[in-house]
Amino acid sequence: MRSLSKSFALFLALVAIFALTTSATAQVPAEPGGRVVLVLPFDNHSGNPSLNWIGDSFPDTLNKRLNSAGFLTISHDDREFAYDHMGLPVDFKPTRATTIRMAEVLDANFVIIGSYNVQPDPANGKTNRITIQAKVLSVDKLRLSSGIGDSAELQHLFDAENAVAWKVAGVMDPHFSASEQTFLAAQGAVPLPAFEDYIRGTNAATDVERLKRLQAAVALAPDDADALLALGKEQYAERNFDAAAASLAKVPTTDRLALEANFYLGLARFNSADYPGAQKAFEFVAGKLPLPEVVNNEGVAVSRQGKDGVAEFRRASAADPSDEDYHYNLAIALFRRGDTDAATLEVKDALKLKPGDNEAIELRSQLKKVAPGTRLNANADNSFSPLERIRRNYSETGFRQAAFQLDQVRVARLALLPAIQRAVEYTQLGHQYLTEGLLPEAETQLQYALAANPNSAEAHAGMAQLREASGDPVKARAEAKTSLIMKPNTSALLVLARLDLADKQLAASANDVSQALKIEPTSAEAIALRMVLQQRGQSVP
């Protein structure tokens, strides 16, 4: 992919090294090649130009769902790069040949194309119904799939797009086994007017229109992470750093967008001289995805507080020794510490990489003038006060590629474990995703767990919680009962207790809670359910 970053290249190298240590029999997932997907805007066949925004919404929604299914999707910015690279206007409707060429430019293995129509619902003339047709083009096999269709009331557009994403995933990966209900229950649905403003805002041609639309989207859906991130980035681009920080800070840390949001949050706070806040934001990102540019920025924020950033700059430089800025920053930090010999070596490395770097040349000159062990004093009368360099550009594609690759590394590591231990770790990951509300991701991990150990009571209990969360009480009950046959456990019993309570089977719910409390007397969920039952006049034995 054209935006392959140096950081991502390092991750590729890491995976290659890891693969050499993997036994020949271990089931290691495929590399990103084979799962890279380009989703193009769908064509509007309604004859109503005011509905063109719906076509732009398909890449947004399908990208989210396909990412959660383990595919690597191509971003809006990369798609625009392909148009520009091929000399095409952004509203160009590509032919099949042009589509294949675009996929080749972006190294995509699959391209999703489609169309939609919006007409009055024959069952209810007061509402409109959207009908969707999609196809999957396999670039590797030069094969176009048969039509993939879905329809829904227009106000349920998000559900229809999720359903199409689920069907498309099954076409691209015959082994894909997540349930459609899980996709339909995935987080992200917002009122249609808010969704429209968000899509129109992200695709607006002018800064004024973009800001206006995104502000309207957030006003209608204040908790929508997509709109908050887009608004925060737009405010940051306009150098309204305080407003940007306020918007970006509202993106939940459990959301998949939190990494990008916190990178820009760190930059916004940094530009407002809130260095402790910037450090916290960069530290959060580095804890999840320790790319050198993020660790470097954390070090810069630390340094701006008058603290020692050597540790962070060493990590950044070690991760990417070919970047002169990391050597330069480390040289300054070492000079501040008084380690002039080490600082001289680092600035020498920086100048090897970029001989014409005037600031590095000046830093080398100053180091030659001072006695060994001299500390750099930013307030010295000689006015020499160099500042560490911060990275201001977030590469969405590079970050997603690195995150994708880390998942590959993790799965490769787990493939080497005994089946029972592998099931335990996958179950823990599944529960983590459940806690974060990431249902498709949770189902994938729990299915891996059950594939490793079909008799895992914990994995079946997790699957019961997943089915409950996705609105499938029949399957949730079945999974909970299967789990309890294997081993009595609180999680499965509480699923049954909630289901029985919803069915107004108070005595059965009370029995479930009672058994759960015998296993785990301090369970906060069981205690809370007992109180609910008692308030309804049902005693719990």
pLDDT in tens, 101-126: 888 888 899 999 999 999 988 877 77
Of the candidates 115, 113, 97, 109, which has an alpha carbon nearest to the alpha carbon of residue 138?
109
Work out the average pLDDT over 327-346.
95
Across the chain, how many H-helices and E-strands are there?
A: 25, 7
Boundaries of every domain in the chain: 36-172, 189-288, 291-416, 417-535
Confidence of residue 178 (pLDDT cuts 50, 70, 90): confident
Does domain 36-172 fall under CATH 3.20.20.70? My reply is: no
Of the candidates 14, 17, 18, which has an alpha carbon nearest to the alpha carbon of residue 412?
18
Terminal CA-CA length for the chain: 62
Question: Looking at the predicted structure, is the pLDDT value of residue 315 above 60?
Answer: yes
pLDDT for res 463: 96
pLDDT for res 251: 96
Question: Looking at the predicted structure, is the pLDDT value of residue 319 above 80?
Answer: yes
Question: Looking at the predicted structure, is the pLDDT value of residue 475 above 90?
Answer: yes
Neighbouring CB atoms inside 10 A of 339's CB total 18
Confidence of residue 243 (pLDDT cuts 50, 70, 90): very high
Partners of residue 314 on adjacent β-strands: none
Cα(229)–Cα(242) distance, rounded to whole angstroms? 14
Cα(454)–Cα(202) distance, rounded to whole angstroms? 44
Of the candidates 461, 428, 460, 457, which has an alpha carbon nearest to the alpha carbon of residue 445?
428
Residue 141 DSSP label:
T
Confidence of residue 169 (pLDDT cuts 50, 70, 90): very high
Highest mean pLDDT among 27-31, 201-205, 383-387: 201-205
Cα(533)–Cα(537) distance, rounded to whole angstroms? 6
Question: Looking at the predicted structure, is the pLDDT value of residue 361 above 70?
Answer: yes
Rg (CA), the chain: 27
> pTM above the 0.85 mark?
no
The values of phi and psi at residue 243, to 5°, are -65, -40
pLDDT for res 381: 53
Domain 291-416 CATH superfamily: Tetratricopeptide repeat domain (1.25.40.10)
| Cα→Cα distances 173→10, 133, 149, 231, Å | 28, 19, 18, 35
> Is 417-535 the same fold as 189-288?
yes
Cα(367)–Cα(347) distance, rounded to whole angstroms? 9
Neighbouring CB atoms inside 10 A of 417's CB total 15
Question: Looking at the predicted structure, is the pLDDT value of residue 373 above 70?
Answer: yes
One-character DSSP codes across 15-55: HHHHHHTS-TTS-PPPPSTT-EEEEPPPEE-SS-GGGHHHH
CATH number, domain 417-535: 1.25.40.10
What confidence tens digit (pLDDT) does each residue in 426-472 have?
A: 999 999 889 888 888 899 899 999 999 999 999 999 999 999 999 99
Question: Looking at the predicted structure, is the pLDDT value of residue 261 above 80?
Answer: yes
pLDDT for res 523: 94
What confidence tens digit (pLDDT) does each residue in 52-86 have?
A: 999 999 999 999 899 888 888 988 878 887 888 88
Confidence of residue 176 (pLDDT cuts 50, 70, 90): confident
pLDDT for res 397: 66
pLDDT for res 382: 59
- Judged by average pLDDT, the poorest of 238-247, 390-399, 493-502, 518-527 is 390-399
Q: Pick 398 or 209 by higher pLDDT.
A: 209
pLDDT for res 398: 67
Question: Looking at the predicted structure, is the pLDDT value of residue 2 above 50?
Answer: no
CB-CB contact of 264 with 247 (8 Å): no
The CA-based angle 360-363-367, given to 5 degrees, is: 140
Work out the average pLDDT over 506-513.
94
CA atoms within 13 A on the CB side of 287: 9
Question: Looking at the predicted structure, is the pLDDT value of residue 6 above 50?
Answer: no
Query: Across all residues in the chain, what is the average pLDDT?
Result: 88
Confidence of residue 12 (pLDDT cuts 50, 70, 90): very low
**Tokens standing for 159?**
């559900």
CATH number, domain 189-288: 1.25.40.10
- Judged by average pLDDT, the poorest of 21-30, 255-264, 375-384, 388-397 is 21-30
Question: Looking at the predicted structure, is the pLDDT value of residue 17 above 70?
Answer: no
> Helix or strand or coil: residue 397?
helix
Of the candidates 60, 63, 1, 65, which has an alpha carbon nearest to the alpha carbon of residue 32?
1
The values of phi and psi at residue 136, to 5°, are -110, 125
